Amino acid sequence: MPDKKIITTNMILYCRNWKKTVQFYRDILRFPIRFSSDWFYEFSLNESSRLSIADENRSSIKAPLCKGLTITMQVEDIDATWSDFSGMQLNPTPIQSHPWHAKVFYIVDPEGHRLEIWQETKEYHTK
């Protein structure tokens, strides 16, 4: 697919705790809803990225039993985002600096998916 243009991306999380997970993304993080039904929600993250939450009891794919998934989201102001999440009692980890020239922190959704929130630092882009 090297010469094909990707228009949008979407990650679908199949969840055992579907209602709590929908509530987390819809009511706590307040992601805009693109589509919803009684077993599936699609949220807009930006113009071309989406995140969907599916009830494993109503889908053909079941939730994985592993914790090997991290959803990364780059933000413009990591300090303000950390403060907001802390105020929402989401228990964000302390902000850390990483060798790839970024500051990051983590939260976990009700299903156990790790969300990595990061901001590039000035030296992130190398030429």
pTM of the model: 0.87
Q: pLDDT value at position 127? A: 45
Exposure string for 22-42, b = 16+ CB within 10 A, e = fewer: bebbbeebebeeeeeeeebbb
Q: Both tokens of residue 127?
A: 């030429």
Q: Which CATH number fits domain 1-58: 2.150.10.10, 3.10.180.10, 3.20.20.150, 3.40.50.300?
A: 3.10.180.10
Ranking 22-26, 59-63, 103-107 by mean pLDDT, the lowest is 59-63
pLDDT at 63: 83
The answer, yes or no, to whether residue 67 has pLDDT greater than 80, is no
Pick the CATH number of 68-127 from 3.40.50.300, 2.30.140.10, 3.30.720.110, 3.40.50.2300: 3.30.720.110
* Pair 111, 17: CB distance under 8 Å: yes
Give the residue range(s) of CATH 3.30.720.110 domains in the chain: 68-127
What is the Cα–Cα distance from 105 to 103, expressed in whole angstroms? Answer: 7
In the structure encoding, which two tokens stand for residue 24, read together?
Answer: 């987390």
What is the rounded average pLDDT for all residues in the chain?
A: 91
